[in-house]
A and B are shown apart, each in its own frame.
Chain A
Amino acid sequence: MVIKIATDVLIIGGGTAGCFAAHILGKISDYKVFIAEKANIQRSGCLAAGVNALNAYITEGHEPQFYVDYAKKDADGIVRDDLLLSMSKRLNHVTDILEKLGLVILKDQNGKYVTRGNRNIKINGENIKPILAKAARDNPNVTVQNHLNITDLKIVSDGSEHQTGQAVGAVGFDVNSGDYFDIDARVVLIATGGASGLYRPNNPGFSRHKMWYSPFNTGAGFAMGLRAGAEMTTFEMRFIALRCKDTIAPTGTIAQGVGAKQVNSLGEIYEHLYGLTTSQRLYGTVSENKAGRGPCYLKTDTISEEQESDLYKAYLNMAPSQTLKWLEKGTGPKQENVEIEGTEPYIVGGHTASGYWIDDHRATTVKGLYAAGDVAGGCPQKYVTGALAEAEISAESIVSFLKQQKQSEFSSLWNDENLKAGTEKILKEYEKFSANEEGLFSVESLEEAMQKIMDQYAGGICTGYSFNSYGLSLAKQKIATLEPLLGSLKAKDADDLLHIYELKERLLVCRVLIAHLEARHETRWHCFAENTDYPQKSKDWECYVNSKLENNEVKIIIRDLVKPGEVYEHTY
């Protein structure tokens, strides 16, 4: 069955940014909003288990520029100052909204937020996602369609060769019933998150999904944008988290919370030898392991019993597996230092600068398509509050966009013959996977193959995240051999269909990622992009590496840095 929907605003992905954008749209407009969510907005996205702190906040005595400078330094200059500044200016404002919505934030006796370091504030974030979900549902103009997986944007082309088209809806299917959805929208906000599962994970067996980033964030937003001709930026700045061994639980809570230092197996503190940016902290650990001084730990054996007890609670509020591990083993962090390891690499715009190439209004290079949160590039270290800030900015931009468009113009766009034919083609593809005969390969086996290729040739865990040009060319060839095998996969049910599309998305993201890694001839960020052919940082690469898909080929675009004080604008 094909279900037709018409709405003013389509939000793809009801996670952190998507829910908050729906909430803001309700406050500033009467537009109809339709949230298409693959799971259920109640707990979907990155915040399912909770979050320990708000990591992006302008603390007393600091200005938004302080946060911009921090994020820029951490990314060694390859950021968009304009995006970081417009985000940073709203961090405290969105925090106030979160508190009004019901988030518990720790305050001192004077009613001021208690800070952790000079950018973080302390919260009880276990229920942060249900709070955001309720805020979205409370907008009376919002329709939430849970369990709807969007695969493609609907793009009207004006026929000219260089002009990207306009986003006027999307196509997807219900992951339970298998019903197809054909959605007409006047404007689309993409908030699907980043991409995990590209590389072989830390725990490739039974606990394969015990990973840092949500295993259900599969790069769908990147893939549908790329296929629609959208420009992406800085995929080569991969994110790799330094985490507690096995449970892949956060380390910041221990490192910043109780001041634990990184030590090697000899008990030597090593972190100061390598530097303290996010990638350097990871690089230090990788280097100590390579030098034979691993495994590495956070030195917690000097903490008090009270601190240990508080850590148990803190982890239950965001990563319960870590507390379970301590309790079940019978040795907590006071008795035993906490072993740490690097995760597999992810593409995630909330931590590094990877994602859609957007302007300060959070408009992508496709008309009518906006992006917020982990899917949006150029603006790293956004974390939860930064994603909310981007959601608010994009909601305001969407209202301005809709005010400039006549309602009547859209019916002709939605009725465009080429658009209808494109939608038919996508629906036929869904049917084809269901009609296929069962073949030799399963989605799972192709996913395993993809992750192995990326791990071995494109800088995964097994090489300590390093790669060279030759290996990348092999990765490119091998990934290219997997893409044709997709077509023969059989979807026995809607779950299978979902997994086929998730694999399709990941394979495209891998292809674009490899092209980005090949393009940047330097090593600016250890581990994140460790190119052994070009082991040094180079002034020649103080630029953005961007990309788009042209005739299904990845085209690399080098762009000059947007200087501090400048605001980048699209020229379409």
Chain B
Amino acid sequence: MSIHIDRNLCIGCGRCSEVCPGNLIKQQPQPGDRHTKAEIKCPQDCWGCTSCLKECPRHAIKFFLGADVGGRGSILSYQKKGSSSIWRVKGTDGTFQEITVNTKEANKY
């Protein structure tokens, strides 16, 4: 259970570091670059709350399940568009499954 941060997409804004309820994400200085990059200091300490996915303005953070809880390499990403939360699962074969949740609608259960 943890996150993967795409270093190419990260702009070092620090919003993930700010919001993580476990203080797990650190901004690391990059040689020859005035911007930092986000890194998770201890991946096994992640609770899996996905707060960082929701904060990231570049959708650079993805979520995955550890192999010990049945993870098979798919990654979950999150994007907010208006009142829609778009969750996307990318499988290891490159296929996508997408679920859109209307944030103005309550759960049926």
Contact = CB atoms under 8 A, between A and B. Distances in A.
B28 interface: no
Contacts of B20: 39-40, 43
A105 B85 contact: no
Contact of A246 (B2, B47, B70): B70
A324 B21 contact: no
B47 A209 contact: yes
B48 A210 contact: yes
Contacts of B103: 104, 124, 126-127
A206 B66 contact: yes
B68 A205 contact: yes
A312 interface: yes
A206 B42 CA distance: 10
Given A175-B23, A316-B87, A210 B109 contact: no
Contacts of B50: 49, 320
A203 B68 contact: yes
B13 interface: no
B5 interface: no
A210 B101 contact: no
Interface string A96-133: 00000000111000000010100000111111000000
Nearest to A319: B48
Interface stretch (A27-35, A253-261, A482-490, A564-572): A253-261
B105 to A, nearest CB: 6
A514 interface: no
B56 interface: no
Interface residues of B, number: 45
Interface stretch (A81-89, A230-238, A325-333): A325-333
Contact of B65 (A114, A175, A328): A328
Interface in A6-49: 38-40, 42-45, 48-49
A495 interface: yes
Contacts of B67: 206
B99 A210 contact: no
B69 A207 contact: yes
A313 B66 contact: no
B22 interface: yes
Interface in B46-101: 46-51, 63-74, 76, 85, 87, 89, 91, 97, 99, 101
Given A49-B49, A313-B99, A123 B107 contact: yes
B74 to A, nearest CB: 4
A534 interface: no
Contacts of B87: 316, 320, 323
Contact of A257 (B47, B76, B89, B109): B109
Contacts of A208: 44-45
A227 B19 CA distance: 30
B81 to A, nearest CB: 15
A215 interface: yes
Given A40-B19, A122-B108, A210 B41 contact: no
A532 B106 CA distance: 45
A218 B39 CA distance: 24
**B69, B70, B109, most chain A CB atoms within 10 A:** B109
A247 B109 contact: no
A215 B105 CA distance: 29
A239 B73 CA distance: 33
A106 B104 CA distance: 10
**A116, A206, A254, A319, most chain B CB atoms within 10 A:** A206
Interface string B1-18: 110000000000000001
A501 interface: no
A243 to B, nearest CB: 12
6 contacts: A44-B21, A126-B101, A206-B68, A324-B76, A328-B72, A495-B23
Question: What are the nearest 6 A-B pairs in CB distance?
Answer: A257-B109, A106-B106, A48-B49, A328-B74, A246-B69, A43-B51
Given A214-B47, A215-B47, 20 more contacts: A40-B21, A48-B51, A49-B47, A49-B51, A53-B109, A124-B105, A125-B107, A147-B23, A205-B44, A206-B66, A207-B65, A209-B45, A210-B1, A210-B47, A211-B47, A310-B108, A313-B99, A320-B50, A321-B48, A321-B69
